[in-house]
């Protein structure tokens, strides 16, 4: 099931202008980079990106950058506070007549899960509470990626990180619900695999004033352990297995923008990733896999009448390998 599309019917209808050009020093296959590129295409050129220290900081290493927009670098904990200062300054200049309306900028916070889920949550909570008119994009690669892929509160159960050798028994923090409890103007989860769904959500949020928050699963070849050519397929599998629901919330009301007609088993998504290899080699850990599958199934079963669930499809025989 897919909701009706109002603005973009297919990838061919997406804006052709590019504001994030080739030549980035980021890792090949980075899902966060693709998400930012797609979001920027819809937002346009008049954007100032307020970046929390993280993987994406490599996009602006003096004197070169592939971005055509403006850029402000902050510490991991203060990106949303920086966005407040930039937005306030722009409003003062615009209201005093020193900044023509056509030169006004949209303020976009760009932060990874380490900053978003953990260190920067306080300043973001405050910005949402104040009703700051800004955009926020979290590229979630489920660990502290730029400092060695350490455990974060976004790391999923049973995944290996550089600081968790044994099975970790933690539930990933539900940032979508934490953000929703703040009553932002708009909130959405997105995937770089579904460019049209992403563009639709950005366009729908345009007309709203206040915090506009986007949470994107950022496939990470370096940290997750897979060949970069499988990046889009893994992003696709995350959606089709139900691990990464695509949804939005306006005025607190949640709507799922895509529900698979037939869910793939979660193992199809986990097995190609080195960080989950211990669940399949030297022996398949059926107990842990069953527990993880049950948690995904419980999420979708809890939606009630919003979705019509069908049995999971059989596991594919030829899943992508590391």
Both tokens assigned to 235: 């992003």
Task: For residue 299, give Cα distances in angstroms to 55, 101, 107, 310.
Answer: 30, 45, 33, 14
Instruction: Give the tens place of pLDDT for each residue, 195-223.
Output: 999 999 999 999 999 999 999 999 999 99
Which tens digit of pLDDT belongs to each residue from 176-192?
999 999 999 999 999 99
**Per-chain mean pLDDT for the chain:** 92
In angstroms, the CA 97 to CA 80 distance is 26
* pLDDT given at position 23: 84
Cα 247 from Cα 321, distance rounded (Å): 29
- Angle (CA) 42-45-47 rounded to 5° is 95
pLDDT at position 304 is 62
pLDDT bracket for residue 169 (50, 70, 90): confident
Q: What is the pLDDT of residue 146?
A: 86
Are residues 157 and 168 in contact, defined by beta-carbon separation less than 8 angstroms? yes
b/e burial code for range 189-216 (CB count within 10 A of at least 16 → b): bbbbbbbbbbbbbbbbbeeeebbbbbbb
Distances (CA, A) of 309 to 102, 171, 262, 263: 47, 24, 7, 8
Q: Is the pLDDT of residue 151 over 60?
A: yes
Mean pLDDT of 245-268: 96
Rounded to 5°, angle at Cα 186 from 304 and 297 = 25
What would the pLDDT profile of 267-315 be if each residue is shown by its tens digit? 999 999 999 999 999 999 999 999 999 999 999 999 864 433 344 444 4
In the chain, domain spans? 11-260
What's the CA gap between 157 and 30, in Å, rounded?
22
Average pLDDT for residues 155-175, to the nearest whole number? 88
pLDDT at 309: 36
Residue 168 has pLDDT above 80, yes or no: no
The confidence band for 149, taking pLDDT boundaries of 50, 70 and 90, is very high
Q: Where do runs of H (alpha helix) occur along the chain?
A: 31-43, 79-95, 113, 121-129, 175-180, 195-205, 231-240, 266-270, 286-301
CATH class held by domain 11-260: alpha beta
DSSP codes of every residue in 202-266: HHHHTT--S-EEEEEE---IIIII--GGGHHHHHHHHHHTTSS-EEEEETTEEEEEE--SSPPPH
Measured from the Cβ of residue 25, the count of other Cβ atoms closer than 10 Å reads 10
């Amino acid at each position: 099931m897919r909701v009706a599309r109002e603005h973009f019917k297919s990838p061919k209808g997406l804006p052709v202008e590019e504001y994030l050009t080739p030549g980035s020093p980021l890792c090949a296959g980075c899902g966060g980079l693709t998400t930012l590129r797609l979001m920027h295409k819809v937002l346009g050129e008049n954007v100032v990106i307020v970046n929390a220290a993280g993987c994406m900081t490599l996009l602006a290493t003096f004197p070169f950058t592939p971005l055509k927009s403006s850029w402000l670098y902050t510490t991991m904990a203060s990106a949303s506070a920086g966005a407040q200062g930039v937005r306030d300054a722009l409003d003062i200049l615009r209201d005093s007549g020193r900044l023509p309306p056509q030169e006004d900028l949209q303020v976009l916070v760009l932060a990874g899960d380490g900053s978003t889920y953990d260190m920067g949550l306080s300043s973001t909570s405050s910005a949402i509470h104040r009703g700051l008119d800004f955009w926020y994009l979290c590229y979630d690669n489920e660990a502290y990626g730029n400092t060695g892929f350490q455990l974060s509160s976004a790391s999923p159960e049973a995944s290996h990180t550089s600081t968790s050798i044994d099975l970790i028994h933690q539930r990933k923090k539900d940032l979508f619900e934490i953000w929703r409890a703040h009553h932002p103007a708009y909130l959405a989860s997105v995937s770089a695999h579904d460019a049209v769904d992403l563009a639709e959500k950005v366009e729908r949020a345009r007309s709203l004033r206040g915090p506009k928050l986007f949470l994107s699963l950022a496939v990470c070849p370096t940290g997750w352990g897979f060949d970069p050519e499988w990046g889009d397929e893994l992003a696709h599998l995350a959606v089709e297995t139900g691990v990464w629901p695509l949804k939005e919330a306006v005025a607190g009301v949640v709507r799922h923008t895509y529900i698979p007609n037939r869910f793939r088993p979660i193992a199809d998504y986990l097995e190609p990733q080195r960080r989950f290899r211990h669940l399949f080699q030297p022996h398949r850990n059926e107990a842990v896999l069953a527990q993880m599958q049950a948690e995904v199934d419980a999420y979708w079963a809890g939606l009630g009448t919003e979705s019509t669930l069908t049995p999971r499809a059989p596991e594919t025989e030829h899943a992508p390998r590391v």
